[in-house]
């Protein structure tokens, strides 16, 4: 198993190129199941979650070709309709194939994803919406068994909670359904927006893109001609490197980034003392005299993302004063706290709220990554901790960060990947 060894760094400098967004790529890859053509995708990040989903498609009978800077996905000969436990257990987002397979074939089995490190993460809202569209759903032997012999029908869906993969799943199901589907309380995350935009470019009529009410006119079972596309930049990867600049008090530039997707993150970093030069697809962070404490509440887009909570918590350990960080989306997303405490951070947890008292003198330690974003919080802490930090179990990190240690080394960090 790999681990990362990192030393304290005086400062970082230079430019980091941002990869394509993992969370946009996943639904977009699942969407290729709706295609009657080979689909060409550029800017896919090289991360394990993407490899896992591409493997799932090949297990189902699809073909994946890597050609220079693009990946071509051919699902024309896809014929299997069962996403088995061995794949789904490694990646919950495999649930994204449920909507498209069911709408294309009229039946689908997907292993139940089960619990996960950051909370229960149920999929009841996905299933309820599919039932409203006419699916018959049974849970048997750990599998969701869904059928819709006459195809899915348009329905009026009102999500009780905003769900990102739930919205994506239903948008894809609705694209091939008979009639019009309305989704109220839809997720407005840029990743959902891109899915809708690619479908719209491919001939599916969608109204309300980027709003909480989507109206999708289905193709009545006809597969669609999906236009080639480039995946949007990863706003969470970008936010993580902005935090690296802020925590080490360094001026660094991000290229191939979409500043409009980072509004809440940039605004919090400004509150904490940094300033920015923002270009069309670049951001430079200029650190302030000191890091100021903050108050954060995680919420759905466009508010502050839960996927940046752990990184800001690490940053808050270096702020002069008391920061309050409230996690509203996932019930157990504070596992990085105990690892940061082992490095010397002063954090108290009360239910869904962390109180971070800075500035703490952090010292390097052996720490364990517990989930994807928690892993990057430990890397950020390691950049300012005295001595050496070994971050174990970085397979979590590899799920979603493309070449993290290489990108950090390019801007001057002393970090390397070693084998246990
Ligand atoms: C996606 C992102 C993840 C991010 C999260 C919240 C992907 C692959 N993952 O996860 O990085 O942290 O959005 O922005 O895009 N819920 C239910 N029932 C459901 C579905 C969700 O109760 O059927 C709850 C969840 O437990 C959670 C909240 O709704 O409390 C939001 O979850 P959701 O948006 O669905 O998260 P994911 O799509 O799994």
- Inter-residue contact 353 to 313 (CB < 8 Å): no
- 169, with CB counted inside 10 A (0-12, 13-18, 19+), is buried
Bridging pattern class, strands 229-230 and 39-42: parallel
What is the Å distance from ligand 1's center to 414 Cα? 34
pLDDT bucket at 332, cuts 50 / 70 / 90? confident
Please give the backbone phi and psi of residue 312, each rounded to the nearest 5 degrees, phi first.
-70, -30
> What one-character DSSP code corresponds to residue 402?
T
Whether 291 has a pLDDT exceeding 90, the answer reads yes
Which atom of ligand 1 is the closest one to the Cα of 120? 26
- Catalytically annotated residue among 116, 196, 243, 410: 116
Q: What is the pLDDT of residue 118?
A: 64
Please enumerate in sequence order all residues whose Cβ is within 8 A of that of 268, keeping only pairs 6 or more positions apart, or say none. 294, 296, 304, 312
Q: Which pLDDT belongs to residue 68?
A: 83
Indicate yes or no: pTM above 0.85: yes
Instruction: Determine which residue's CA is closest to atom 22 belonging to ligand 1.
Output: 122
Query: What mean pLDDT comes out for the span 264-293?
Result: 97
Tell me the best of 29, 163, 401 to mutate to test the pocket of ligand 1, counting ligand atoms within 8 Å of each CB and taking the most.
163
* pLDDT, position 169: 98
Mean pLDDT of 238-260: 98
d(CA 239, CA 246): 10
pLDDT beyond 70 at 315: yes
Nearest to 130 by CA among 162, 177, 193: 177
SS3 at position 160 = coil
Mutate to test the pocket of ligand 1, among 165, 234, 333 (most ligand atoms within 8 A of CB): 165
CA dihedral 205, 76, 192, 233 (to 10 degrees): -120
Cβ-based neighbours of 314, under 8 Å, separated by 6 or more = 243, 247, 336, 340, 345, 377, 378, 380, 381
Please choose from 20, 118, 121 the residue to mutate so as to test ligand 1's pocket, defined by most ligand atoms within 8 A of CB: 121
Residues lining ligand 1, CB < 6 A? Answer: 23, 26, 93, 119, 121-126, 161, 163-166, 191, 306-307, 329-330
The reported pLDDT for the residue numbered 122 is 87
Q: Whose CA is nearest to atom 25 of ligand 1?
A: 121
Question: In this structure, how many other beta carbons lie within 10 angstroms of the beta carbon of residue 416?
Answer: 13
Cα three-residue angle 265-211-35, rounded to 5 degrees: 100
Contact 342, 377 (CB under 8 A): no
Among 89-93, 167-171, 236-240, 311-315, the range scoring the smallest mean pLDDT is 89-93
CB 64 within 8 A of CB 71: yes
For atom 11 of ligand 1, the residue with the nearest CA is 307
At 109-135, the pLDDT tens digits run 999 886 566 667 789 999 999 999 999
* Chain mean position to CA 383: 23
State residue 116's pLDDT score.
62
Going by alpha carbons, the residue nearest to atom 4 of ligand 1 is 307
Give SS3 for 293. coil
Nearest CA to ligand 1 atom 21: 163
Give CA–CA dist 7/334, Å, rounded. 24
72/227 Cα distance (integer angstroms) = 12
CA of 166 to the centre of ligand 1 (A): 8
As a whole number, the mean pLDDT across the chain is 96
Judge whether 196 counts as a catalytic residue: no
């Amino acid at each position: 198993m790999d681990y990362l060894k990192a030393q304290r760094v005086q400062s970082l400098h230079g430019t980091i190129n941002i990869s394509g967004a993992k969370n946009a790529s996943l639904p977009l890859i699942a969407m290729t199941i709706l295609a009657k053509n080979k689909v060409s995708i550029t800017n896919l990040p090289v991360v394990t979650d993407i490899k896992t989903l591409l493997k799932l498609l090949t297990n189902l009978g699809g073909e994946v070709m890597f050609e220079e800077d693009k990946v071509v996905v051919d699902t024309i000969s896809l014929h299997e309709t069962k996403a088995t436990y061995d794949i789904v257990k490694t990646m919950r987002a495999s649930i994204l194939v449920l909507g498209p397979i069911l709408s294309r074939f009229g039946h689908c089995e997907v292993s139940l994803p089960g619990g996960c490190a950051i909370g229960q993460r149920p999929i009841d809202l996905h299933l309820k919406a599919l039932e409203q569209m006419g699916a018959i759903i049974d849970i048997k032997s750990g599998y969701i068994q869904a059928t819709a012999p006459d195809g899915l029908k348009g329905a009026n869906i009102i999500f009780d909670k905003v769900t990102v993969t739930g919205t994506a799943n239903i948008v894809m199901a609705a694209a091939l359904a008979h009639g019009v589907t309305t989704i109220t309380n839809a997720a407005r995350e840029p990743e959902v927006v891109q899915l809708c935009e690619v479908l719209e470019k491919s001939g599916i009529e969608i109204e309300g893109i980027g709003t909480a009410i989507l109206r999708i006119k289905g193709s009545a079972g006809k597969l669609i001609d999906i236009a080639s596309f480039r995946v949007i930049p990863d706003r969470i990867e970008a936010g993580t490197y902005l935090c690296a600049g802020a925590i080490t008090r360094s001026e660094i530039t991000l290229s191939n980034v979409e500043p409009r997707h980072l509004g809440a993150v940039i605004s919090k970093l400004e509150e904490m003392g940094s300033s920015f030069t923002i270009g069309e697809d670049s951001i430079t962070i200029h650190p302030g005299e000191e890091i100021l404490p903050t108050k954060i509440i995680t919420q759905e887009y466009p508010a502050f993302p839960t996927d940046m909570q752990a990184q800001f918590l690490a940053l808050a350990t270096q702020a002069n004063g008391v920061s309050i960080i409230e996690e509203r989306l996932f019930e157990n997303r504070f596992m990085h706290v105990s690892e940061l405490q082992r490095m010397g951070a002063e954090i108290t947890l009360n239910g869904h709220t962390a109180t971070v008292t800075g500035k703490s003198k952090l010292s390097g330690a052996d720490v364990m990554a517990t989930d994807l974003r928690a892993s990057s919080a430990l890397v950020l802490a390691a950049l300012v901790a005295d001595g050496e930090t070994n971050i174990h179990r970085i397979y979590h990190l590899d799920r979603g960060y493309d070449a993290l240690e290489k990108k950090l080394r390019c801007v001057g960090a002393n970090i390397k990947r070693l084998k246990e």
